[in-house]
Chain A
């Protein structure tokens, strides 16, 4: 049985359908990359997978006893109100909320986990700073650390490297690969097609045409060749 089985899913906003009749599955230990043009519905798909919005039709089946509390998530955008008082540490710790269930306070292990993930993302030294006062890239790292705290079986990332400098981007990919090797399933949305075909095992391409298969199949397919060419052309231009 697959970890996540998506069957003829149709999704969108209010009365606008964004994606129609989409089927794919994610097995335990997979590294799936979702690619597609801007506005093709990648983020919407991810939100639907997470249960943040209801699908119009079709099914999402969580197999292997996957629970929501085992999911880590990095949103593409987090709209945080101006002046929101929240320190980096408070935010990263809030990634552990699912672990503690109804227990009111975080225990030592969870605090250590938060510290370790802050170290991993190189944000330890400003753990007491206010989130709103950080740069965009620094904020992204905070949210990544929070997502890592929440992850136990599967990690969903919506454009994790956007806004990161090249050094951290490379480290980020290494880190995600490492997590994947430890057995954590990865679903990542990315515009960085060269990284996608380098690290991912499977590719889901959505848009006017849909493709789902291994990256080797994708690179051999017409839709894949065309997309890789256009993205790389775009990147070089």
Chain B
């Protein structure tokens, strides 16, 4: 089995998948802690559906570089969702449900009507749940992912203290002169970018899992913001790597395997958390 693994690791596409997997896992878990605590996770969920819709439009238009449409649409939706979610208290949830389900249905419809592909179900399935074969990642994908991840991590480190302050007590932060709205906007935009990035790996339906699970697992065990953030990043990377390796060896779908690893880690952390008390 180990031989088989080492064999596989020679292939560039396996290396690409591992690199991209680690980067996405890292970024999504960093931002995940704030997202969960700020109750922004619903935005992540809504956005992944929007990204799916945008992807459908892009593939209908036969664009070679789908990012050109998917990225701006998702970022703009993130900003809009944040606004509606904050202002109109009751309508916020409904608006998000509307947008996300609408985008999902529209995307599927568009793909169904206009698609020239012979394997429509396969296409839809891979957009929703991630590609089964990781052959889809090119070197350019890896470089783009690397650059964006570097930016996300840098932004997170630079604004770490502000993000903590705004997450813990937004009104205090605002009262003492921190521009909370800007940081909320920054968070929303980072989520959007991560979601678009992660779509290739785990597919749009499973992204939320990647964002939420490491944070929740880590919160079972640790009591300070810093330790929760660090542990969730480590855990997320471990789950992504083991998920990818297992999927190679066992031939299971990548996205689902990574998420399964995250779920497993969550259960273990919950148990350990209970015994620690």
Taking beta carbons and an 8 Å cutoff, which residues of A are in contact with B? 47, 50-52, 67-73, 75, 78, 80-81, 83-87, 90-91, 93-95, 97-98, 100, 104-106, 128-130, 133, 146, 150, 156
Contact = CB atoms under 8 A, between A and B. Distances in A.
A75 B168 contact: no
Interface stretch (B121-129, B152-160, B239-247): B152-160
Q: Which of B165, B174, B228 has the most CB of A within 10 A?
A: B165
B161 interface: yes
Given A86-B225, A100-B161, A105-B161, A52 B176 contact: no
Classify the interface of chain B: helix, strand, loop or mixed.
helix
Contact of B225 (A78, A87, A100): A87
Given A78-B169, A80-B169, A106-B161, A98 B178 contact: yes
Given A68-B177, A83-B219, A106-B161, A146 B225 contact: no
Contacts, number: 92
B224 A80 contact: no
Given A75-B172, A90-B226, A156-B175, 19 more contacts: A50-B175, A52-B175, A70-B177, A73-B176, A75-B171, A78-B169, A81-B37, A81-B39, A85-B219, A85-B225, A85-B227, A87-B224, A90-B164, A90-B225, A93-B161, A97-B173, A98-B177, A98-B178, A105-B161
6 contacts: A73-B172, A78-B172, A85-B222, A87-B225, A100-B161, A150-B176
B183 to A, nearest CB: 11
Interface of B: 37, 39, 157-162, 164-165, 168-169, 171-178, 218-219, 222-228
Contacts of A85: 218-219, 222-225, 227-228
Contacts of A91: 168
Contacts of B219: 83, 85
Given A68-B177, A90-B225, A84 B161 contact: no
A73 B178 CA distance: 13
Contacts of B218: 85
A70 B37 CA distance: 28
Nearest to A133: B223
**Closest 10 CB pairs between A and B?**
A68-B177, A69-B177, A130-B223, A87-B224, A50-B175, A73-B175, A85-B228, A94-B165, A98-B176, A150-B176
Q: Which of B157, B160, B172, B177 has the most CB of A within 10 A?
A: B172
A97 B168 contact: no
Given A97-B162, A100-B161, A104-B160, A68 B175 contact: yes
